[in-house]
């Protein structure tokens, strides 16, 4: 079968306005949470990306019905039954594990294939299990499946997470909402997507307080009292940050709309340190740059620290800055796969464990490259826009997992980019 690739040529600028889609990392969990509503929940602003298709399939395999009208999903979970979440879906997307909490909450039992997905470091689920165990959930591993059950019912408890894990906070929260009594989650993740999930849970009748802070308190309610709801997904801060990097790289001015600037405070600080002018409004951010890109140091941390999901994009900016930058990855192991690819385009990066020393170069050169993960893939397309000549990007299914119409949005901002079939790169529109 011919391979679909993204073909990019050096472009003059990226400027104009782009609308940000709903947050992938929020919408995925909102779909899973609708299992708790036991009826038809309506979720607006859901991005058209392949990861969402997988989560819809998860709900359908469990017995639910999902219909889509544009960016609105109707997720009817009335007929969801105590079935297993199959390997074929969990192996494609690790976030399928988000069905675990809501299924245990609804049925007192769940059977979920052990996750695979994006190969960024070890990505264990031990903290999900530790948190849920405090609530009375017992786990067994059976032929590659995780079997969870609550033989004595679910009860509230005090949980202290070892690390502010997004997935562990979410699964624990979605289980605790129906556990008898009060649950406290300390060292909880503070990402905006956690707040969005807590808001939807509360709209369904749950009692979650403090989401967005490092202590979340949950007052358990009865499953029967929960009901479906209508909810709008927050904007995707990582998509917004990716386009802002594009504007910073090429000069802009580039404005992203549909995003709360408070979600990207650390990224905005870094853009300013790198010599960009950044303006913000209630739901927009605009970046422009006149002088050279300045080097900076970046270390990824849980929110509100610098997001690991923007590390590759900012490494690209560092690669073209006047001087040397240090990028430190603290959230995931092995998240420097992107570095190997931009080195093939002429970037000067030295890797040492979870540190990358990036010595800025004057120019990148177009080359054939491969997406190794979702965010690195998006950064490679931006690299191609700035690089001399033509860049052909392979394995673009990674990009389709998380960016709605990435190529179309970039082209509307002036990029010389298109999707094509390998062997036809000479056919240029
Ligand atoms: C979510 C996001 C992902 C983002 C990440 C960190 C989704 C679908 N994905 O992933 O885009 O990069 O947050 O912001 O929302 N860990 C353990 N044990 C656990 C859980 C996590 O060791 O039980 C480790 C992981 O291996 C990783 C780190 O903790 O090194 C962070 O993981 P976590 O915050 O849970 O990220 P995800 O929820 O997987």
In angstroms, what is the C-alpha Rg of the chain?
22
Separation of CA 187 and ligand 1 centre (Å): 14
User: In whole angstroms, what is the distance from residue 55 CA to residue 34 CA?
Assistant: 12
Give the ligand 1 atom nearest the CA of 28: 8
Q: From the CB of 259, is ligand 1 less than 6 Å away?
A: no
Q: What is the DSSP string of 364-428?
A: -B--EEE--SHHHHHHHHHHHHHSBSEEEEE-THHHHHH-TTHHHHHHHTT-EEEEEETT-TT--
Which residue, among 78, 157, 88, has the nearest Cα to 117 in the 3D structure? Answer: 88
What average pLDDT does the segment 35-50 reach?
A: 98
Model confidence pLDDT, tens digit, residues 318-332: 999 999 999 999 999
Give me the percent of the chain exceeding a pLDDT of 90.
93
Pick the catalytic residue from 118, 206, 229, 276. Answer: 118
Give the ligand 1 atom nearest the CA of 126: 23
Could you give phi then psi for residue 214, rounded to 5 degrees?
-85, -5
3 state SS of 140 = strand
Separation of CA 2 and ligand 1 centre (Å): 34
In degrees, rounded to 5, the angle at the alpha carbon of residue 217 between the alpha carbons of residues 214 and 223 is 135
Residue whose CA lies nearest to ligand 1 atom number 33: 165
Residue whose CA lies nearest to ligand 1 atom number 24: 123
User: In whole angstroms, what is the distance from residue 218 CA to residue 185 CA?
Assistant: 8
Separation of CA 332 and ligand 1 centre (Å): 8
pTM: 0.96
Average pLDDT of the chain? 95
Count of other CB atoms within 10 angstroms of residue 397: 12
Residue whose CA lies nearest to ligand 1 atom number 30: 332
Structure tokens at 311: 């590390």
Separation of CA 293 and ligand 1 centre (Å): 31
User: In whole angstroms, what is the distance from residue 317 CA to residue 337 CA?
Assistant: 16
Poorest-pLDDT segment among 78-82, 187-191, 238-242, 333-337 = 333-337
What was the pLDDT predicted at 114?
87
Give the ligand 1 atom nearest the CA of 95: 8
Count of other CB atoms within 10 angstroms of residue 353: 9
Model confidence pLDDT, tens digit, residues 129-185: 999 999 999 999 989 899 999 999 999 999 999 999 999 999 999 999 999 999 999
The 3-class secondary structure across 230-267, one letter per residue, is: EEECCECHHHHHHHHHHHHHHCCCEEEECCCHHHHHHH
Could you give phi then psi for residue 334, rounded to 5 degrees?
50, 35
Q: From the CB of 123, is ligand 1 less than 6 Å away?
A: yes
Residue 426 has pLDDT above 90, yes or no: no
Alpha helices of 160-291 — where are they, by DSSP H?
Answer: 166-176, 192-203, 237-250, 265-273
Which residue, among 383, 403, 405, has the nearest Cα to 392 in the 3D structure? Answer: 383
Alpha helices of 77-153 — where are they, by DSSP H?
Answer: 87-90, 100-107, 126-134
Residue whose CA lies nearest to ligand 1 atom number 39: 167
Residue whose CA lies nearest to ligand 1 atom number 4: 309
9, 393 Cβ separation under 8 angstroms? no
Residue whose CA lies nearest to ligand 1 atom number 1: 166
Poorest-pLDDT segment among 204-208, 311-315, 369-373, 422-426 = 422-426
Separation of CA 118 and ligand 1 centre (Å): 11
Could you give phi then psi for residue 251, rounded to 5 degrees?
120, -40
CA 58 to chain centre: 18
Cβ-Cβ contacts under 8 Å for 101 (sequence gap 6 or more): 32, 128, 132, 170, 171, 172, 173, 174, 175
Separation of CA 279 and ligand 1 centre (Å): 31
Q: From the CB of 25, is ligand 1 less than 6 Å away?
A: yes
Give the ligand 1 atom nearest the CA of 130: 23
318 catalytically annotated = no
Q: From the CB of 163, is ligand 1 less than 6 Å away?
A: yes
Residue 118 has pLDDT above 90, yes or no: no
């Amino acid at each position: 079968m011919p391979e679909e690739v993204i073909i990019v040529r050096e472009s003059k600028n990226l400027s104009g306005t782009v609308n940000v889609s709903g947050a992938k990392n929020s919408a995925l969990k909102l779909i899973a949470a609708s299992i708790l509503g036991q009826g038809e929940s309506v979720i607006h602003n859901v991005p058209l990306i392949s990861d969402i298709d997988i989560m819809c399939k998860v709900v359908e395999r469990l017995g639910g019905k999902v219909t889509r009208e544009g960016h609105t999903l109707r997720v009817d979970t009335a007929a969801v039954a105590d079935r297993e979440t199959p390997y074929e879906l969990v192996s494609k997307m690790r976030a399928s594990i988000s069905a675990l909490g809501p299924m245990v909450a609804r049925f007192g039992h769940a059977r979920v294939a052990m996750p695979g997905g994006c190969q960024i470091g070890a990505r264990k689920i031990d903290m999900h299990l530790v948190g849920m165990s405090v609530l009375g959930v017992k786990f067994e591993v059976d032929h590659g499946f995780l079997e969870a059950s609550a033989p004595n019912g679910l009860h509230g408890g005090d949980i202290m997470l070892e690390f502010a894990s997004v997935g562990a906070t979410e699964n624990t929260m979605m289980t605790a909402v129906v556990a008898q009594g009060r649950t406290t989650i300390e060292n909880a993740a503070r990402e905006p997507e956690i707040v969005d999930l807590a808001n939807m849970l509360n709209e369904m009748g749950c009692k979650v307080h403090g989401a967005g802070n490092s202590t979340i308190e949950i007052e358990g309610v009865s499953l029967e009292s929960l009901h479906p709801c209508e909810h709008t997904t927050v904007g995707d801060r990582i998509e917004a940050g990716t386009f802002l990097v594009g504007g910073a790289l090429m000069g802009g001015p580039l404005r992203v709309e549909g995003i709360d600037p408070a979600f990207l405070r650390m990224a905005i600080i870094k853009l300013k340190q790198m010599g960009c002018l950044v303006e913000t409004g209630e739901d927009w951010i605009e970046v422009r740059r006149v002088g050279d890109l300045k080097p900076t140091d970046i270390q990824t941390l849980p929110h509100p620290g610098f997001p690991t999901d923007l590390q590759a994009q900012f490494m690209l900016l560092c690669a073209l800055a006047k001087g040397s930058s240090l990028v430190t990855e603290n959230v995931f192991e092995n998240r420097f796969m992107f570095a190997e690819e931009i080195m093939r385009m002429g970037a000067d990066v030295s890797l040492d464990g979870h540190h990358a020393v990036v010595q800025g170069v004057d120019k990148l050169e177009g080359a054939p490259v491969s997406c190794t993960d979702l965010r690195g893939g998006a950064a490679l397309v931006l690299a191609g826009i700035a690089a001399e000549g033509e860049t052909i990007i392979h394995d673009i299914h990674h990009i389709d997992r998380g960016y709605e119409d990435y190529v179309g949005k970039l082209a509307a901002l002036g990029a010389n980019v298109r999707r094509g079939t390998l062997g036809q790169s000479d056919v240029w529109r």
